[in-house]
Amino acid sequence: MTEGGGAAADGGTEGSGAHAWERTFLPWDCYFAVVWAATVLFALAAQSPGLRVRAAAVGLLALLVPWYLAAGRPLMIARTAGGRRSSRYVAVVVVIFLAAAPLVGEVRLGAFAVVPQCFMLLRLRTALVAVAVVNAVPVAGWALLWRPGEHDLYANSVFAVVTLMFSMVVGGWIIRIIEQSTQRAELLAELRASRAEVARLSAERGALAERERLAREIHDTLAQGFTSLLMLVQAVQSDIERDPAQSRRHLDLMARTARENLAEARALVAGSAPADLAAGSLPDALRRIAARHSAQSGASAEVEVTGTVRRLPPAVEVVALRACQEALANVLRHAGVRVPVTIRLAYGDGDLVVTVRDEGCGLDTGEAPASGYGLPGLRARAAELGGRAEATGAPGRGVTVSVTLPAEEVR
């Protein structure tokens, strides 16, 4: 904003056909048109001077119309204040007005159109000087040209003072409008920038969350399935010559594991429930994965269910299932084969507790915290639902993975 009446430079309207000043400029066009037309009518209807003089004054006023449309209006819409183009435009308007106003006293009515343009396009101090000239010089020129009586001179002087005061009021109002328009434009620009930034951050956050979710799903399903396949391949390679029957059993288990992995992949792509849950209840799903673990490891895997079995929210059942899968996968990777496992599923009044206990080599408390998608991913899954997950154990005494989830019955 320039001092007092000016606004921002041309760049202030960038990207804003919707700028408040530009949207509301039509009333100014109407105002200028009405004042110009009223001035012309009053000048033509004046009792004196003669018709030729009045016609000359109206002819001068007519020059203001194309000058306003070609130069003034674009400058005011662009809110370009204090520049050379603005000063040149106002200077031409003032000169034409001062040439016409002394000829016919009624032409001074046009000051109501000239004054707002001075405040719109000039710096405040320059606008005040121009307004004083527009109000005072026409009266002085008219008095010198026509030598009126004292009464007429007094009346016209009073009129000049009143229009000058009105000009100050209108000028202050115009300044406030331009300031508010500019401030609103800046606020809107900041709001658009903030919205764009929020949208960008939300998209990045959403993409990151989706990558983390997919990483956990792939780790808990496909990656574990492939790990099982690799272990079965190794078992087949070691037994193919000395125990063909056992090798065939391993091959059958490989085929079943591959089919289950394919079903999990299809469920992951479709965004539907895991294949094990889609085929029955949560306890049934846990019994199926326990049976698969027992077939792969050669050790027992028992499932114990306590409490009243009921239907729970899908998200809770998925986390419970993934917790068992992750715990059993860790048993195969770290505890070794032929390690007995017990899975306990406890339905409480307001929670669900899943516990997987193995009798393996235990947990070395001196090791660095786990990284990757295993237990950290399980803890993240539980935390998203307002629950918790923990793994406890000691060397030689096995490991217990426990997950507690809030669980209200689905009605």
- Mean pLDDT computed over 80-105: 89
CB 81 within 8 A of CB 4: no
- Mean pLDDT computed over 150-156: 73
Give the closest residue to 143 by CA, choosing from 131, 152, 134.
Answer: 152
Check whether 16 has a pLDDT greater than 60.
no
CB 298 within 8 A of CB 251: no
Q: For position 62, what pLDDT does the model report?
A: 94
Higher local confidence (pLDDT), 184 or 99 = 99
- Provide φ and ψ at 83, rounded to 5°: -80, 175
**Which CATH number does 281-411 carry?**
3.30.565.10
Could you report how far apart the first and last alpha carbons of the chain are, in Å? 63
- Mean pLDDT computed over 115-141: 87
CB 131 within 8 A of CB 167: yes
Check whether 405 has a pLDDT greater than 80.
yes
pLDDT, tens digit, 9 for 90 and up, residues 348-371: 888 999 999 988 777 664 443 444
- Least confident span in 22-36, 85-99, 339-353: 22-36
- Mean pLDDT computed over 109-123: 88
Residue 11's pLDDT band (cuts 50, 70, 90):
very low
- Mean pLDDT computed over 244-265: 78
Q: For position 410, what pLDDT does the model report?
A: 55
- Mean pLDDT computed over 70-76: 91
Q: For position 8, what pLDDT does the model report?
A: 38
Q: For position 270, what pLDDT does the model report?
A: 62
Residue 74: half-sphere exposure toward Cβ, Cα within 13 Å: 7
Residue ranges of domains in the chain: 10-198, 281-411
- Least confident span in 57-61, 87-91, 220-224, 320-324: 220-224
SS3 323: helix
CB 339 within 8 A of CB 297: yes
* Block residue for tokens 């070609």: 70
pLDDT, tens digit, 9 for 90 and up, residues 169-210: 777 777 777 777 778 878 888 999 999 889 888 888 877 766
Cα–Cα distance list, 282 to 274, 278, 308, 385 (Å): 11, 9, 12, 17
User: Rg of the chain over CA atoms, in angstroms?
Assistant: 44
Rounded to the nearest angstrom, the gap between the alpha carbon of residue 23 and the centroid of all alpha carbons in its chain is 25
- Mean pLDDT computed over 62-89: 88
Q: Extract the runs of DSSP E, i.e. beta strands, from 118-163.
A: none
Q: For position 94, what pLDDT does the model report?
A: 93
Check whether 18 has a pLDDT greater than 60.
no
Rounded to the nearest angstrom, the gap between the alpha carbon of residue 387 and the centroid of all alpha carbons in its chain is 31
- Provide φ and ψ at 59, rounded to 5°: -60, -40
Q: How far apart are CA 75 and CA 92, in angstroms?
A: 14
* Block residue for tokens 């190794």: 234
CB 80 within 8 A of CB 86: yes
The model carries a pTM of 0.46
Q: For position 409, what pLDDT does the model report?
A: 61
